[in-house]
């Protein structure tokens, strides 16, 4: 389980996050909505251990991230809005490099299997990243997460800039990961995709989580109305 307990982050006089409480179980996809500056990325960075909370705790499998980020990092993977990869290397070579950084060594057949499972066509495995679309780069990011065997995957605006076909493919992959028991925490602006892919929805405003609901109990139109009223 991912868990935030009264999680708070303050920069000087600005409170970026205020007493956040939430939990994400394995197999769940939690989509966090909110305007820029609402606290979505701050929340992710606290779970990743990139910043320390002012107060409260971020926990991964019952382990408090700070001061145990070395341990918790081994259980999580992160896919940013723009996946930073090496354009001169192929998809397979990038995956090999980043999986080795995480302490894993795979043969080419295993690496290729991760890329295929992430939805990247086999013909692209050996092509340079400089020729990839954003959707293809995102798939390499997913493959890196798979190679880490992470139980928890964080995503920050993962479908920003993707065309409808790539968005649909990305949604399908997320649901497959969920079915395998992976927990996904996704910060997004896309209300309609959040309803389509998520199991839980959260709306954040000015550093506070002001609404949560299950996607079983709300549709896209209702969520849009609620979101506009909230922000």
Last residue of a domain, one of 93, 124, 150: 150
| 204 occurs within a structural domain | yes
Indicate if 49 and 160 belong to the same structural domain.
yes
Last residue of a domain, one of 125, 150, 175: 150
For residue 157, the tally of other CB atoms under 10 A from its CB is 17
pLDDT of 51 reads 93
| 12 occurs within a structural domain | yes
Mean of all residue pLDDT scores within the chain? 91
Contact assessment for residue 47 and residue 203, using Cβ atoms and an 8 Å cutoff: no
State the residue range of the domain holding 200: 2-75+151-230
| 164 occurs within a structural domain | yes
Indicate if 176 and 124 belong to the same structural domain.
no
Q: Which helix (H) or strand (E) holds 70?
A: helix 69-73
- Per residue in 205-218, pLDDT (tens digit) is 999 999 999 999 99
Indicate if 145 and 163 belong to the same structural domain.
no
| 112 occurs within a structural domain | yes
Indicate if 130 and 186 belong to the same structural domain.
no
Indicate if 146 and 90 belong to the same structural domain.
yes
Kindly list the strands in the beta sheet with 152-156, ordered across the sheet, starting from the edge strand earlier in the chain: 76-79, 152-156, 183-188, 29-33, 200-205, 208-214
Using CA atoms, how far apart are residues 77 and 150, in angstroms rounded to an integer? 6
Identify the residue whose tokens are 């001169």.
88
CATH of the domain at 168: 3.40.50.300
pLDDT of 170 reads 84
pLDDT of 69 reads 85
pLDDT of 25 reads 93
Three-state secondary structure of 141-198? HHHHHHHCCCCEEEEECCCCCCCHHHHHHHHHHHHHHHHCCCEEEEEECCHHHHHHHC
| 80 occurs within a structural domain | no
pLDDT of 165 reads 84
How many domains are there within the chain? 2
Burial of 156: CB neighbours in 10 Å, binned 0-12, 13-18, 19+: buried
| 146 occurs within a structural domain | yes
Region of residue 180 (left: phi > 0; alpha: psi -120 to 50; beta: else): alpha
| 92 occurs within a structural domain | yes
Indicate if 45 and 140 belong to the same structural domain.
no
Last residue of a domain, one of 101, 127, 150: 150
Contact assessment for residue 162 and residue 176, using Cβ atoms and an 8 Å cutoff: no
Of all residues in the chain, the percent with pLDDT exceeding 70 is 100
Indicate if 160 and 119 belong to the same structural domain.
no
Q: Which residues of the chain have pLDDT under 50?
A: none
pLDDT of 154 reads 94
Indicate if 140 and 54 belong to the same structural domain.
no
Nearest C-alpha neighbor of 129 from the set 119, 121, 118, 140? 140
Indicate if 163 and 59 belong to the same structural domain.
yes
| 206 occurs within a structural domain | yes
Contact assessment for residue 20 and residue 211, using Cβ atoms and an 8 Å cutoff: no
Using CA atoms, how far apart are residues 204 and 89, in angstroms rounded to an integer? 38
Angle between helices 134-147 and 91-101 (to 10 degrees): 40
**Structure token digits, residue 36:** 């820029």
Indicate if 94 and 121 belong to the same structural domain.
yes
Indicate if 6 and 62 belong to the same structural domain.
yes
pLDDT of 32 reads 95
Indicate if 65 and 155 belong to the same structural domain.
yes
pLDDT of 56 reads 96
């Amino acid at each position: 389980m991912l868990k935030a307990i009264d999680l708070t982050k303050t920069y000087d006089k600005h409170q970026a996050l205020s007493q956040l409480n939430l939990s994400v179980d394995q197999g769940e996809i939690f989509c966090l909505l909110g305007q820029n500056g609402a606290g979505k990325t701050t929340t992710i960075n606290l779970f990743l251990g990139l910043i320390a909370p002012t107060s409260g705790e971020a926990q991964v499998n019952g382990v408090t991230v700070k001061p145990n980020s070395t341990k918790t990092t081994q259980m999580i993977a992160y896919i940013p809005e723009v996946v930073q990869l090496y354009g001169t290397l192929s998809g397979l070579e990038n995956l090999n490099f980043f999986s080795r950084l995480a302490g894993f060594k795979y043969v080419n057949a295993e690496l290729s299997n991760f890329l295929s499972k992430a939805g990247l066509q086999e013909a692209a495995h050996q092509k340079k990243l400089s020729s990839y679309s954003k959707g293809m780069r995102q798939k390499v990011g997913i493959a890196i997460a798979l190679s880490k065997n992470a139980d928890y995957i964080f995503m920050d605006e993962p479908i920003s800039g993707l065309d409808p076909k790539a968005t649909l493919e990305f949604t399908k992959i997320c649901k497959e990961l969920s079915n395998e028991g992976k927990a996904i925490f996704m910060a997004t602006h896309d209300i309609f995709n959040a309803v389509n892919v998520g199991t839980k929805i959260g709306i954040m405003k000015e550093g506070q989580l002001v609404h949560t609901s299950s996607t079983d109990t709300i549709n896209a139109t209702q969520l849009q109305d609620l979101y506009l009223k909230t922000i």
